[in-house]
Amino acid sequence: MHSCSLVCLLTSKQPNALKRKLQSSPHGNPPLKRKPKPSVNNFKKRAAETGTREKGSSSKRSLPKKQLTANQNESQKSKLFIKTSSLFKNNPDIPEIHRKAVQQVQENVFTTDSFSQLDLHPHLIATISTVLKIHSMTSVQKRTIPVLLQGKDALVRSQTGSGKTLAYGIPLVQSLQGMKSKIQRSDGPYALVLVPTRELALQTFDTIQKLLKPFTWIVPGVLMGGEKRKSEKARLRKGINILISTPGRLVDHIKSTECIHFRRTQWLIIDEADRILDLGFEKDVTVILNALNAVRETRQNVLLSATLTEGVTRLADISLNDPIRISIADEVQKSLKPALQIEKEANGSSNCMDQENFAVPEKLKQYFVMVPSKLRLVTLAAFILEKCMYEKQRKMIIFFSSCEQVEFHYELLVNVLSGELSEQPKRSPVSSVQLQFLRLHGNMEQEERTEVFQEFLKSNTGILLCTDVAARGLDLPQVMWIVQYNAPASPAEYIHRIGRTARIGCHGNSLLVLAPSEAEYVSLLASHKINVSEMKMEKVLSSLMKDDRFRLHRPGSKKSSVVDPQEVRERATVLQTKFENYVHSSEGTIRWAKKALQSFLCAYTAYPRSLKHIFHIKSIHLGHVAKSFGLRDAPQNLTTLPTANSKKKTKPRAKRSDLLKKTHGKHRLAEILRSEYSSGMDSGVSKVKKRKKKKQRKSGNQQTPV
Ligand SMILES: Nc1ncnc2c1ncn2[C@@H]1O[C@H](COP(=O)(O)OP(=O)(O)OP(=O)(O)O)[C@@H](O)[C@H]1O
Q: What is the pLDDT of residues 513-522, one digit of tens each?
A: 999 999 999 9
Other beta carbons less than 10 A from residue 50's beta carbon: 17
Q: How many CA atoms lie within 13 A of 408 on its CB side?
A: 27
First to last CA, the chain: 69
The residue to mutate among 162, 302, 457, 472, having the most atoms of ligand 1 within 8 angstroms of its beta carbon, is 162
Q: Can you count the helices (H) and strands (E) in the chain? A: 27, 16
Report whether pLDDT(533) > 50.
Answer: yes
At residue 577, the 3 state secondary structure works out as helix
Distance 161 CA to ligand 1 centre (A): 5
Q: What is the pLDDT of residues 173-227, one digit of tens each?
A: 999 999 999 999 999 999 999 999 999 999 999 999 999 999 999 999 999 877 7
Max alpha carbon distance in the chain (Å)?
Answer: 93
CA–CA separation, 521 vs 502, rounded Å? Answer: 22
Residue 106's pLDDT is what? 87
- Among left, alpha and beta (phi > 0; psi -120 to 50; other), residue 106 is beta
Distance 429 CA to ligand 1 centre (A): 38
Question: What is the third-level CATH fold of 364-551+562-703?
Answer: Rossmann fold (3.40.50)
CA–CA separation, 540 vs 377, rounded Å? Answer: 12
The sheet with strand 533-534 has its strands ordered as 437-440, 462-466, 395-399, 481-484, 508-514, 364-370, 533-534
Q: What is the mean pLDDT of residues 387-395?
A: 84
**Residue spans per domain, the chain:** 2-87, 110-333, 364-551+562-703
Report whether pLDDT(50) > 70.
Answer: no
Q: Do 582 and 589 touch, CB atoms closer than 8 A?
A: yes
In this structure, which residue's CA is closest to atom 9 in ligand 1?
A: 163
Pocket-forming residues, ligand 1, beta carbon under 6 Å: 134, 136-138, 141, 160-166, 306, 473, 475, 499, 503-504
CA–CA separation, 317 vs 3, rounded Å? Answer: 61
Interface pTM (ipTM) of the complex?
0.99
Question: What band does 34 get if pLDDT is binned at 50, 70 and 90?
Answer: very low
Report whether pLDDT(683) > 60.
Answer: no
CA–CA separation, 402 vs 271, rounded Å? Answer: 24
Distance 170 CA to ligand 1 centre (A): 12
Report whether pLDDT(54) > 60.
Answer: no
> Residue 447: which of 199, 193, 194 has the closest Cα?
199
Tell me whether domains 110-333 and 364-551+562-703 share a fold.
yes
Written in H, E and C, the secondary structure of 416-443 is: HHHHHHHHCCCCCCCCCCCCCEEEECCC
In this structure, which residue's CA is closest to atom 3 in ligand 1?
A: 134
The residue to mutate among 302, 303, 504, having the most atoms of ligand 1 within 8 angstroms of its beta carbon, is 504
Amino acid at 431: S
Distance 141 CA to ligand 1 centre (A): 10
CA–CA separation, 159 vs 153, rounded Å? Answer: 20
Strands 136-138, 110-114: pairing is antiparallel
Q: Do 274 and 223 touch, CB atoms closer than 8 A?
A: no
Q: Do 473 and 244 touch, CB atoms closer than 8 A?
A: no
Question: What band does 699 get if pLDDT is binned at 50, 70 and 90?
Answer: very low
- Angstrom distances, CA of residue 164 to CA of 157, 184, 313, 344, 540: 9, 28, 17, 28, 36
Q: Which residues contact 90 (CB under 8 A, 6 or more apart)?
A: none
In this structure, which residue's CA is closest to atom 1 in ligand 1?
A: 137
Is residue 243 packed enough to be buried (19+ CB in 10 Å), middle (13-18) or exposed (0-12)? buried
> Lowest mean pLDDT: which of 150-154, 288-292, 676-680?
676-680
Q: What is the pLDDT of residues 302-360, one digit of tens each?
A: 999 999 877 676 667 767 889 999 999 877 666 655 544 444 444 444 444 556 789 99
Ranges of H-type helices in 80-197: 122-130, 139-149, 164-177
Helices 338-346/328-336 angle, 10° precision? 110
CA–CA separation, 689 vs 71, rounded Å? Answer: 53
136 CA: nearest ligand 1 atom? 1
Helix (H), strand (E) at residue 341: helix 338-346
At residue 325, the 3 state secondary structure works out as strand
Q: Which residue has the higher pLDDT, 671 or 300?
A: 300
**Which residues are registered as beta bridge partners of 242?**
191, 220
Distance 199 CA to ligand 1 centre (A): 16
Distance 504 CA to ligand 1 centre (A): 6
Distance 398 CA to ligand 1 centre (A): 22
Distance 165 CA to ligand 1 centre (A): 6
CA–CA separation, 491 vs 611, rounded Å? Answer: 11
Question: What band does 382 get if pLDDT is binned at 50, 70 and 90?
Answer: very high
Q: What is the pLDDT of residues 646-664, one digit of tens each?
A: 333 333 333 434 433 443 4
At residue 164, the 3 state secondary structure works out as helix
Q: What is the pLDDT of residues 106-157, one digit of tens each?
A: 899 999 999 999 999 999 999 999 999 999 999 999 999 999 999 999 999 9
DSSP string, 1-47: --HHHHHHHH-TTHHHHHHHHHHS-TTSPPPP---PPPPHHHHHHHH
At residue 678, the 3 state secondary structure works out as coil
Q: What is the mean pLDDT of residues 600-613?
A: 95
Distance 612 CA to ligand 1 centre (A): 35
238 φ, ψ to 5°?
-65, -35
**The model's pTM:** 0.80
The sheet with strand 220-223 has its strands ordered as 220-223, 242-245, 191-194, 267-271, 300-305, 154-157, 324-327
CA–CA separation, 626 vs 573, rounded Å? Answer: 15
Q: How many CA atoms lie within 13 A of 221 on its CB side?
A: 25
In this structure, which residue's CA is closest to atom 10 in ligand 1?
A: 163
Question: What is the third-level CATH fold of 110-333?
Answer: Rossmann fold (3.40.50)
Sign for the pseudo-dihedral over CA of 338, 340, 341, 342:
positive
DSSP string, 378-429: HHHHHHHIIIIIIS---EEEEE-SSHHHHHHHHHHHIIIIIIIGGGS-TTST
Q: What is the pLDDT of residues 409-446, one digit of tens each?
A: 999 999 999 765 555 544 444 445 689 999 999 999 99
Report whether pLDDT(70) > 60.
Answer: no
Report whether pLDDT(476) > 90.
Answer: yes
The residue to mutate among 166, 397, 468, having the most atoms of ligand 1 within 8 angstroms of its beta carbon, is 166
138 CA: nearest ligand 1 atom? 1
